[in-house]
Amino acid sequence: MQMRMRPSTNIESLPEELLYDILLELPAEDIYKGARLVCKKWYKMICNPKFVYAHFHNSTPGLIVECRFDSTRPVTFVATRRGRIEVSKFNFEFRGVVWGSCNGLIVETVYDGISTHYITNPATDQRFDLPREEPDDSYSVMLFCYGGCADDIFSKKYKAVSMCCSTYNGSKIWSCAVLTVGVDKSWRNLLTEHLSVSEPLTTEGFVHWPHNEGEGAYVFTLNVETEIFTVTPVPQGCGGERLTYYLPTGKSLSLIVFCNDFSFEIRIFNEAHNRAQYAFDKSEEKKSSVGHRLRPPPPSAAGDGPKVEHCSYSDIRKKFK
């Protein structure tokens, strides 16, 4: 019988693609503090943009929590790892207020008479200064990633959207400014008249301003990539006296309408709807009028109107888990 003697298997004798898979499983802090310093071969593998991208998509999503009213409290990162909620201290000195994040990049704003915005990568301690804002002060800044194909990180572009408030003839006017990161030298002002003072809600690639005034309720939406605004009426029966609540749920915006103590109606603005330029459509109101709570949306409405989903309480838990 032929016995094949071979040296014991070690991490060095593994083919490169298997080592790659193993390193991908390491948390980012271990890669930066440990793995990339081990040897040049590991360093080369780790610093490849493809690895960075693959690792990013393999990483744990979580929330950055900052207490704006008490700067002595540390910024924390909350995530679920291995089925448990973990709260870790974010040992990074933010210069200003953390406004939002996208793909691990964070927008912060320092206010010293005029707003200055930065895009920060806390993982690499790199900062990118955004041009200073001309209008009085900005109310919030959001960061979006758009375009490009999923596999090519270099084709992706970032846009920052800022909500600012200017004083005009003694009254405050809200406006919205957009900046393509790395391309625009200054902020570009967009339409102003429909913006409300309410905190904008963001979903992937979209900013929404809900206007919830009785039966004429509507949602004003900005498609960040195309910079087109759309107005979507909230179906009749969802506004008015009934308690409603908007919730950004990742890709889409959901409207939760409380029917009674144990029942909610959930309406979801789907992506296809958001992509199309959408005018105020009276017929949509008819389709979704009161009394149709248990009726599924007609197939024809799926592409051009808000997708209506009905859920019991347990369904909601499943949906937003």
Binding site for another protein (CB under 8 A): 1-4, 8-15, 18, 21-30, 32-41, 43, 88-92, 122-126
21 or 152: whose CB is closer to another protein? Answer: 21
Determine the Cα–Cα distance for residues 224 and 238; give it in Å rounded to an integer: 27
CB 141 within 8 A of CB 131: no
Smaller CB separation from another protein, 10 or 314: 10
Provide, rounded to whole angstroms, the least separation between the CB of residue 20 and another protein: 9
CB of 46 to another protein, least distance (A): 10
- Considering beta carbons, is residue 85 or 243 the nearer one to another protein? 85
105 contact partners, CB below 8 Å, separation of at least 6: 119, 120, 121, 143, 158
φ, ψ of residue 12 in degrees (nearest 5) = -70, -25
Q: Where are the beta strands (DSSP E) in the chain?
A: 62-65, 76-81, 84-89, 97-102, 105-111, 115-121, 126-129, 137-146, 157-168, 171-180, 188-190, 201-203, 206-211, 218-223, 228-233, 244-249, 252-260, 263-269, 307-312
Q: How far is the CB of 124 from another protein (least distance, A)?
A: 4
Among the listed residues 174, 212, 206, 207, the one whose alpha carbon sits nearest the alpha carbon of residue 193: 174
Q: Of the two residues 125 and 241, which places its CB atom closer to another protein in the complex?
A: 125
Burial 162-201 (b: 16+ CB within 10 A, else e): bbbeeeeeeeeebbbbbbebeeeeebeebeeeebeeeebb
Contact of 297 with 308, CB cutoff 8 Å: yes
Dihedral sign for Cα atoms in the order 261, 265, 271, 277: negative
What letter would DSSP give residue 123? T
Structure tokens given for 106: 């964070």
Complex with another protein: residue 105 or 222, whichever CB lies closer: 105
Rank residues 1 and 294 by Cβ distance to another protein and give the closer one.
1
CB of 111 to another protein, least distance (A): 23
**Cβ of residue 153: shortest distance to another protein, in angstroms?**
18
Question: Least distance (Å) from another protein to the CB of residue 118?
Answer: 15
Q: How many residues does the chain have?
A: 321
CB of 2 to another protein, least distance (A): 7
Q: Quick check: 147 and 157 in contact, CB under 8 A?
A: yes
- Tell me how far, at minimum, the Cβ of 9 lies from another protein, in Å: 4
- If the CB atoms of residues 21 and 213 are measured against another protein, the closer one turns out to be 21
Q: Is 199 left (phi over 0), alpha (psi -120 to 50) or beta?
A: beta
Comparison of 81 and 319: residue with beta carbon closer to another protein: 81
